[in-house]
Amino acid sequence: MKRKLLRSFVISVLVLAAAGDCWAQRLDKALLTHSSESISITPLIYGIEKGFYRNEGVDLQFRILRGDLAIAAMVNSREVDYIYGAGTAFLAALRGAPVKILSHDFKSVLFYLMAQPNIQSGKDLKGKKVAVSSLGGTGAASARASIKALGLDPDKDVTYIVIGAASIRMAAMESRSIEAAIMPVPWNFRMKQKGFKDLIFAGSVMSQPLTGIATTREKIEKNPDQVKRMLRGFLRSLRAVKQETKDVTEFIARRFSLDAATAEETHKVVLQTLSEDGTVSAQALQDLLEQSKREAGVTREINVNDIVDYRMLREVAKEGIK
Is pLDDT at 242 greater than 90 in this prediction?
A: yes
Alpha-carbon span 76 to 300, nearest angstrom: 25
1-26: average pLDDT: 48
Spatial separation of the C-alpha atoms in residues 211 and 208, rounded to whole Å: 9
pLDDT tens profile 20-50: 444 445 889 999 999 877 888 999 999 999 9
Q: What's the pLDDT band for 19 if we cut at 50, 70, 90?
A: very low
Task: Give tens-digit pLDDT for 155-190.
Answer: 999 999 998 788 899 999 999 999 999 998 989 998
The CATH code of domain 111-204 reads 3.40.190.10
Supply the CATH classification number for the domain 2-107+208-319: 3.40.190.10
- Which residues, other chains included, contact 235 with Cβ-Cβ below 8 Å and sequence gap of 6+? 103, 277, 278, 313, 316, 317, 321
Q: CA angle, 274 as apex, 131 and 116 as ends, to 5°?
A: 25
In sequence order, the 6+-apart residues with CB closer than 8 A to the CB of 163 are: 131, 132, 133, 169, 172, 178, 181
CA angle 239, 233, 54 (to 5 degrees): 130
Q: Is the pLDDT at 102 greater than 50, yes or no? A: yes
Q: For position 36, what pLDDT does the model report? A: 79
Q: Do domains 2-107+208-319 and 111-204 have the same CATH topology?
A: yes
pLDDT confidence band for 291 (50 / 70 / 90): confident
Q: Could you state, in order of their start, the residue ranges of all structural domains in the chain? A: 2-107+208-319, 111-204
Task: Select the more confidently predicted residue: 32 or 205.
Answer: 32
For residue 128, the model assigns a pLDDT of 95
pTM above 0.85, yes or no: no
pLDDT at 136: 67
Q: Which residue, among 42, 32, 33, has the nearest Cα to 184 in the 3D structure? A: 42
